[in-house]
Structure 1
Amino acid sequence: MNAPTEMDPLEVKHVKLRVLIREHRDLDDAITALEGTGTADPLTIRRLKKQKLSLKDRIAVLEDQITPDIIA
């Protein structure tokens, strides 16, 4: 029987990064759509924008972990 294959930790980070970027894009689209209606609840939009900022921070952390430090 074949042993289960495990993903390299770096690959896992890349997958998580792609998921977070997709979620960030989806939130951006949702915010744009809600603002476009003109009847959106301001509190809902504010909450979505907070979620989007949180995702942006998580994306930045993952990108820092993936990108190697290069000392010039």
Structure 2
Amino acid sequence: MSELKDVPLWLWICLAAVLMLQGTWIFRDAQKRGEGGMAWFWGVWGLTGIPTPAVCYLLFVILPDRRRRKRD
């Protein structure tokens, strides 16, 4: 546990800021795309880690939405 004590405060602040930005961006984009109740899921999941939620959101929401719009 001493490893966590060695991490500087500025790094913790940057990590928190990036997580908040990622979660907020995913949530707002999911709302814009009409994901409905899933927007909350994506947003909360976006607060948990970097970059897995963003990559999954890209693969499972954004890319299929672009393909569907190209076909129409």
Q: How does the TM-score come out when normalised to structure 1?
A: 0.44
Structure exhibiting the larger radius of gyration computed from Cα positions: 1
Higher helix fraction (1 or 2): 2
Q: How does the TM-score come out when normalised to structure 2?
A: 0.44
